[in-house]
Amino acid sequence: MPAAQPTIIATSISFLRSQGGFWEGTAGPSYEYAIKLSRPDSGRKPRLCFLATGLGDNPVYTSAFYYAFINLGVDVTNLSLFPCPSYPNLREHLLSQDVIWVSGGSTANLLAVWRVHGLDEIMRECWEAGVVLMGSSAGAICWHSGGTTDSFRYPLQAITDGLRFLPYSNSPHYSAEKERRPLTNQLVADGVIPDAYATDDHAGLVFFGTDLHEAIAEHPSAKCYSIAKVGEGKAVETELPTRLL
């Protein structure tokens, strides 16, 4: 059965590091939590499809993703869009999933390529049907109205043409990248982007519908935040209660 309500998990969470390559690791508890929320039908493996559009469908990352789930009993597939879609019917394949996971990379390129292939509309249909949408970095920003991005190289810039499933902005890697916090606060204060949520590395935000359900983390020091405009040229940042998985 699908999730009880439209669900998005927007994170700055990568794999738990192993002794392998740069991306190689194992899927941590946030992925298991996403699968639980998706309420997969009993009698079959949970289905998870991942998209690495923001990384240009990097084959090294694709291999690492399959490796990460090898011991979790999950039926994993990947949807590639380069050089052309890897499935003849994108809508059918994505709607058959329990969880859709989106990698980091270039948010701007991800959004452009998705729109060319109609994935913006298909993803909304999946979300409304109860397929859990999850992602990290660019894969978190994309579901929002916008946020902060390195899609155009540094310095970081605003991006304002997200899919708008969630009417907020999103800023990943909030404490790990020194430019994120001041830029996010300034953009919200100036009204360039709407009120925002932000995540440290190893943390994420769970939305039921368009409402924040909870903040989660895979590391005890990882936090989540809200940034709200409170007056002309002013914004206030608030640390959110964050549950360690």
Given 137, 145, 169, 226, the catalytic residue: 137
How buried is 224 (Cβ within 10 angstroms: 0-12 exposed, 13-18 middle, 19+ buried)? Answer: buried
137 is catalytic: yes
12 is catalytic: no
Given 12, 106, 144, 173, the catalytic residue: 173
Catalytic residues: 137, 173
